[in-house]
């Protein structure tokens, strides 16, 4: 589960993308299993932009929030004279998109917070980004990717274009693997989602689960506490046994770990699951579902997932 630094050149200068490489073997695969497909996992793009005709308030939010995310100097490039620049979330997505096209995956997983705040422009930009990947995209929406009931029609239409109409729970099959997307962006799942997951897992099919908020596994707890403090109830599903649904959801994933190839999630803005966080106390329990979380794209991160079978 290596992390490699991949150099790039762009209109914003040169830099390095951090790539996590994961290979997962299908249940029952032969000893000399070969790659049958490749996926990319990205998360938390936090796209924040505006057009000149947008309302002043939206323009201000886009500018302020872009400043907020860039102040940490996460993803830095350098020009020919050595001058440094921190990429904005939007610029980061352009660089990451270029790399994804070069990797030519069979599908891209987006695990939420694709936009930073709901606006027609942000959702349209998210859609444009996905369309430019030349690959199927599957998105589990995050807490930032939502609109209020009664939102105006233009916003509702843009949301649907970017996020889709069945964001709550959806299953698609790619290369014989069921990709399940679940909207747990508000830190909880519903009874309906639990029952749909139960039915899906009873089928015994190889399944990948995409979430925004990760479920409570040993691999995520120590790193997430280091970042967000000891109370992870807003960050991790099942951390506090918040409600019956979250607990059942977690148990379902753990008890079906033989055919749940992995859970991929975002939200915590951290790379976990591949042993990368060992220094911060990341542990692994053999009783828990395999789960990986991702750094945001504005930190210059993506994950390559090869499925062997
Ligand atoms: Fe986020």
| 126 CA from centroid of ligand 1 (Å) | 14
Distance 27 CA to ligand 1 centre (A): 32
Q: How far is the CA of 54 from the centre of ligand 1 (A)?
A: 24
The list of the chain residues with pLDDT below 70 reads: 1, 275-283
Q: What is the pLDDT of residue 285?
A: 78
How many angstroms separate the alpha carbon of residue 48 from the centre of ligand 1? 12
Residue 83, classified by CB atoms within 10 Å of its CB into exposed (0-12), middle (13-18) or buried (19+), is exposed
Q: Measure 295 CA to ligand 1 centroid, in angstroms.
A: 9
Cβ-based neighbour number of residue 71 at 10 Å? 9
Continuous H helices in the chain: 56-70, 89-103, 120-131, 153-163, 191-202, 218-228, 244-255
Query: Separation of 44 CA from ligand 1 center, angstroms?
Result: 5
Report the distance separating Cα 207 and Cα 293, nearest Å: 17
pLDDT value, residue 167: 85
294 C-alpha to ligand 1 centroid (Å) = 10
d(CA 273, CA 255): 18
**Domains in the chain: ranges and CATH:** 20-308 (3.30.750.180)
Q: Pairing between strand 260-265 and 207-210?
A: parallel
What pLDDT shows up at residue 281?
59
The two tokens of residue 229 are 């403090």
Q: How far is the CA of 39 from the centre of ligand 1 (A)?
A: 21
Tokens of 182: 């679940």
Question: CA 244, CA 266: separation in Å to the nearest integer?
Answer: 23
pLDDT tens by residue, 205-235: 999 999 999 999 989 998 999 999 999 999 9
Ligand 1 midpoint to CA 269 (Å): 6
36 CA from centroid of ligand 1 (Å): 31
DSSP label of 237: B
Global pTM reads 0.96
Nearest C-alpha neighbor of 290 from the set 252, 264, 251: 264
267 alpha carbon – ligand 1 mean position (Å):
5
Q: For residue 46, how far is its CA from the centre of ligand 1 (angstroms)?
A: 7
Alpha-carbon gap, residue 260 to 204, rounded angstroms = 9
What is the residue whose two structure tokens read 């099959």? 173
User: Is 137 within 8 Å of 107 (Cβ atoms)?
Assistant: yes
Q: What is the pLDDT of residues 136-165, one digit of tens each?
A: 999 999 999 999 989 999 999 999 999 988
The single residue listed with the structure tokens 């803005």 is: 269
Q: How far is the CA of 268 from the centre of ligand 1 (A)?
A: 7
Distance (Å) from CA 32 to ligand 1 centroid: 38
Phi-psi region of 261 (alpha: psi -120 to 50; beta: other; left: phi over 0): alpha
Tokens 């750094």 correspond to 295
Counting DSSP H helices and E strands in the chain, the numbers are 7, 13
- The pLDDT value recorded for residue 174 is 97
Distance 287 CA to ligand 1 centre (A): 28
């Amino acid at each position: 589960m290596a992390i490699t630094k991949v150099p790039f050149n762009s209109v914003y200068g040169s830099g390095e993308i951090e790539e996590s490489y994961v290979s997962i073997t299908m249940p029952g695969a032969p000893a000399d299993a070969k790659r049958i497909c490749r996926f990319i996992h990205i998360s938390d793009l936090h796209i924040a932009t505006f057009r000149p005709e947008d309302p002043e308030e939206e323009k201000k939010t886009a500018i302020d929030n872009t400043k907020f995310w860039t102040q940490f100097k996460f993803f830095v490039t350098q020009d020919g004279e050595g001058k440094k620049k921190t990429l904005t979330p939007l610029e980061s997505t352009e660089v990451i998109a270029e790399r994804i096209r070069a990797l030519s995956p069979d599908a891209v997983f987006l695990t939420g917070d694709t936009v930073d705040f709901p606006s027609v422009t942000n959702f349209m930009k998210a859609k444009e980004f996905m369309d430019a990947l030349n690959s199927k995209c599957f998105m589990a929406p995050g807490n930032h990717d939502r609109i209020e009931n009664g939102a105006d029609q233009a916003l509702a239409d843009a949301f649907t274009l970017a996020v889709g109409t069945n964001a709550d729970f959806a299953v698609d099959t790619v290369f014989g693997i069921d990709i399940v997307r679940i909207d747990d962006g508000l830190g909880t799942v519903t009874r309906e989602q639990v029952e749909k997951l139960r039915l899906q897992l009873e089928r015994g099919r190889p399944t990948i689960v995409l979430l925004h908020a990760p479920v409570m596994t040993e691999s995520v707890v120590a790193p997430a506490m280091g970042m967000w403090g000891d109370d992870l109830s807003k960050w991790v599903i099942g951390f506090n046994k918040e409600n019956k649904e979250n607990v059942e959801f977690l148990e379902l994933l753990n008890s079906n770990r033989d055919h749940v190839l992995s859970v991929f999630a975002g939200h915590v803005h951290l790379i976990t699951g591949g042993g990368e966080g060992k220094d911060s106390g990341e542990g692994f329990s053999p009783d828990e579902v395999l789960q990986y979380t991702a750094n945001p794209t504005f930190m210059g991160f993506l994950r390559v997932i090869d499925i062997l079978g």
